[in-house]
């Protein structure tokens, strides 16, 4: 039987490539322009992407032999899922792969914010000794609201329990084991927003989740609360968030994702109560290796 032809259009960890090469004919071609991708995909059975490559309707239409579109990561917003569905092409991803990496980033944000690490580092390097000005707070006994309790949200919950935080969850599907093991409870979004000291978002970008946190939701938050978004930028109404941050209606925000990426110009740059990072949630060696291996195994299983 002929080997499946796989096009790897974005860089993935070499361990995942080795696994793919055990059962498929693999072509690695990264950084392709849209028209080049359309040309290359014609005879391929599988295309593997991360976040850079867009699998548009044109790409799907050109892939006459496509059976699988695989995303070595979490979201599917760079893939035309409906076009693939119409062609009976399976779309798979690896949402479990970056769970620890993203969860650890959430706690890095909270600890950095709570202990004024950025200001402390900058000031000390400038010869300042701002010990009295840098009185911080502990995470212990603070309330952490987790919106979305999938793979990543669950990891955040268990870490929060280890920090002795009070946990509130919100999701359309409730994980009773998570609640039982962490002592957390599921509540409606309004309650979570009103009662949490830190709010972290872990939901996919869908029509129903776009701007799930907008002006009305932001106004429900405590004036000291911090919003954390490591999911997708459009989950939050960025314009509304900027306004409440400028007016100091909430304590601050820690953002890894934005409505338009890369973020080149933004009023966010001038705000002292914000921590910004360039979509690095899944950017650990371990997470990228895991994503590549998981997606290779899923491709193999799907081709059977």
Mean pLDDT of the chain: 96
The whole-angstrom separation of Cα 145 and Cα 157 is 9
Average pLDDT of the residues in 49-54: 94
Q: For position 1, what pLDDT does the model report?
A: 60
- The phi, psi pair for 86, rounded to 5°, reads -65, -25
232 flagged as catalytic: yes
Average pLDDT of the residues in 114-138: 97
Residues 6+ away with beta carbon under 8 Å from 27: 5, 6, 7, 8, 40, 44
279 flagged as catalytic: yes
**Homologous superfamily of the 4-94+285-303 domain (CATH):** NAD(P)-binding Rossmann-like Domain (3.40.50.720)
Question: For 199-230, what is each residue's pLDDT tens digit?
Answer: 999 999 999 999 999 999 999 999 999 999 99
Calculate ∠ Cα 276-279-285, nearest 5°: 120
pLDDT band at 304 (very low <50, low <70, confident <90, very high): confident
**Homologous superfamily of the 99-276 domain (CATH):** NAD(P)-binding Rossmann-like Domain (3.40.50.720)
Helix or strand (DSSP H, E) at 267: none
Average pLDDT of the residues in 154-180: 98
- Inter-CA distances, 168 with 12, 50, 107, 215, Å: 35, 31, 16, 21
Q: For position 77, what pLDDT does the model report?
A: 87
pLDDT band at 163 (very low <50, low <70, confident <90, very high): very high
Catalytic residue among 71, 232, 238, 290: 232
Q: Which value, in Å, is the radius of gyration of the alpha carbons in the chain? A: 21
Same topology, domains 4-94+285-303 and 99-276? Answer is yes
Catalytic residue among 279, 286, 289, 290: 279
- What percentage of the chain reaches a pLDDT higher than 90? 97
What residues are paired with 99 via a beta bridge? none
Q: Provide, for the chain, the percentages of residues in helix, strand and coil under a 3-state DSSP scheme, each rounded to the nearest 5.
A: 40, 15, 40
| 3-state class (DSSP) for residue 53 | coil
Evaluate whether 50 touches 28 at the Cβ level (below 8 Å). Answer: no
Catalytic residue among 261, 264, 286, 289: 261
Q: Which of 75 and 196 is assigned the larger pLDDT?
A: 196
Question: For 9-48, what is each residue's pLDDT tens digit?
Answer: 999 999 999 999 999 999 999 999 999 999 999 999 999 9
Q: Where are the alpha helices (DSSP H) in 228-283?
A: 238-246
211 flagged as catalytic: no
Domain extents in the chain: 4-94+285-303, 99-276
Question: For 253-277, what is each residue's pLDDT tens digit?
Answer: 999 999 999 999 999 999 999 999 9
């Amino acid at each position: 039987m002929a080997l499946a032809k796989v096009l790897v259009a974005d860089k993935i960890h070499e361990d995942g490539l080795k696994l793919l090469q055990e059962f498929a004919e693999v072509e690695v071609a990264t950084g392709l322009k849209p028209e080049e991708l359309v040309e290359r995909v014609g005879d391929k059975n599988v295309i593997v992407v991360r976040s850079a490559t867009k699998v548009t309707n044109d790409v799907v239409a050109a892939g006459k032999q496509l059976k699988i579109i695989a995303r070595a990561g979490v979201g599917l917003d760079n893939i035309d899922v409906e076009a693939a569905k119409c062609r009976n092409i399976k779309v798979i991803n690896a949402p479990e792969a970056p769970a620890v990496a993203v969860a650890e980033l959430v706690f890095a944000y909270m600890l950095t914010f709570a202990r004024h690490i950025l200001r402390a580092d900058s000031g000390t390097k400038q010869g300042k000794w701002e010990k009295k000005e840098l009185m911080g707070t502990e995470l212990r006994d603070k309330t952490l609201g987790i919106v979305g309790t999938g793979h990543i949200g669950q990891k955040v919950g268990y870490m929060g329990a280890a920090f002795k935080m009070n946990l509130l969850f919100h999701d359309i599907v409730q994980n009773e084991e998570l609640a039982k093991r962490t002592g957390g409870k599921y509540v409606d979004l309004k309650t979570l927003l009103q009662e949490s000291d830190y709010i972290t978002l872990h939901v996919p970008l869908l029509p129903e989740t776009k701007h799930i946190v907008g002006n009305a939701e932001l106004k429900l938050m405590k004036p000291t609360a911090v919003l954390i978004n490591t999911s997708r930028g459009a989950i939050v109404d960025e314009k509304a968030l900027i306004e409440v941050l400028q007016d100091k209606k909430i304590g601050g925000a820690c953002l890894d994702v934005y409505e338009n990426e890369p973020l080149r110009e933004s009023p966010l740059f001038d705000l002292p109560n914000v921590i910004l990072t360039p979509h690095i949630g899944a950017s650990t060696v371990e997470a990228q290796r895991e994503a590549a291996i998981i997606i290779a195994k899923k491709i193999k299983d799907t081709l059977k």
